[in-house]
Structure 1
Amino acid sequence: MAAPMAEAAAVAAFRSVMNRVRTAAERSGSELERIRVVAVSKTKPISMIRQLYDAGHRCFGESYVQEISEKAPQLPQDIEWHFIGHLQSNKAKLLMSGVPNLAMVESVDNQKVANHLDRMVSTLGRNPLKILVQVNTSGETSKSGVDPSNCVELAKHVKLNCPNLLFSGLMTIGMPDYSSTPENFQTLSNCKSEVCKILGMADEQCELSMGMSNDYELAIEMGSTNVRIGSTIFGPREYAKKQ
């Protein structure tokens, strides 16, 4: 249980973030309504999420299947949950069955995962699930994501071969210190242009999820429509100490 002071601080921080998002959108000429802020609540207690929910926010993100599966049933069903972590194909069933109000999986990085999600959506009789293809724009072997040269192939597979999934755009994580360089953002933007051209999609049909706590304003200025913000809103993550 988070202390009331921490919960109040999270709400104040969130409002500050939204003001900065608005300013960044104005600088870039982007429509504020098209920019989604995903409040990344991993390691944070239900009470903090609920406080932000009560302040009016509805979009939250988690990185671990077990954690989102435990939290989602304890919170209101009108929350729009985003799964943003690396997803193993054998966890697709737990994710889909455990989070009925899952709105988007932002981290599909191979056809096997896409196929598993597609089958689970069909099996559960759910509405089509929005999918972002994760692209490794920094070239780090420790990062998940397809190589930029393969993003079109995976996007095409989701769009044409997974009838229960909605290909909705591209996502990138960025550099190890969570501050992506403009080059990373430009790479993802270039991928988007190529995907839209090959798949015949309008620009506004393809989202860009890039930008986190340290660089979301720059990301918005470079075309991001989805920013994932955790520590700036909720404070440092609280991992359990190893015994």
Structure 2
Amino acid sequence: MTDVANYLDREVSRLGRPPLKVFVQVNTSGEASKSGVEPSDSIELAKHVKLGCPNLEFSGLMTIGMPDYSSTPENFKTLFKCRTEVCKVLGMAEFQCELSMGMSNDFEQAIKMGSTNVRIGSTIFGPREYPKRQ
């Protein structure tokens, strides 16, 4: 995962723009279909972005829960715990590390559990239509 951060850091530098705010995605559900680092690797990647990528601004952690929302509270609790650990290691106040968790079907619960960003595109634009795989 540090390779992706390094690539993004170089591209932002090449464009000559101010640092890009980024979130580290954590796979809190353990699903193979989800991207992101394991919770145990969140500190290492956040540290790399914050200290080793001058063109990126570590802004927080994000997760995408299971499609049926059956593990939502556990996913949110896991990300909340990751934030506590990341902030401790990086010497950041927790309010400086945002939590992006919650989508159209679970954003209310996510907000109650500490989310500072929600992704509610389906609520605004309607459900997505995915192409059938062949």
TM-score tier, shorter chain, comes to: over 0.9
Matched, 1:157 2:26: no
CA distance in 2, matches of 1:114, 1:187: 23
Q: Number of paired residues?
A: 134
CA positional deviation for 1:238: 3.2
Gaps of 5+ in 2: none
Given candidates 16, 22, 29, the residue that maps to 1:125 is 16
CA distance in 2, matches of 1:132, 1:178: 22
TM-score, length of structure 1 as denominator length: 0.53
Computed over aligned residues only, the root mean square deviation of the Cα atoms, in angstroms, reads 1.6
CA positional deviation for 1:241: 6.4
Please list the CA deviations of residues 85-116 of structure 1 after superposition, one character each: whole Å capped at 9, or x if unmatched. xxxxxxxxxxxxxxxxxxxxxxxxx1111001
Given candidates 189, 202, 205, the residue that maps to 2:96 is 205
CA positional deviation for 1:226: 0.3
One-letter amino acid matched to 1:204: F
Q: List, as ranges, runs of 4+ consecutive aligned residues in structure 1 with deviation greater than 3 Å.
A: 238-243
CA distance in 2, matches of 1:194, 1:225: 17
Determine which structure has more spread, i.e. the larger CA radius of gyration. 1
CA distance in 2, matches of 1:178, 1:112: 31
CA distance in 1, matches of 2:34, 2:61: 15
Given candidates 185, 210, 221, the residue that maps to 2:76 is 185
CA distance in 2, matches of 1:236, 1:170: 25
TM-score, length of structure 2 as denominator length: 0.94
CA distance in 1, matches of 2:20, 2:129: 30
CA positional deviation for 1:141: 1.3
Q: Which residue of 2 aligns with 1:216?
A: 107
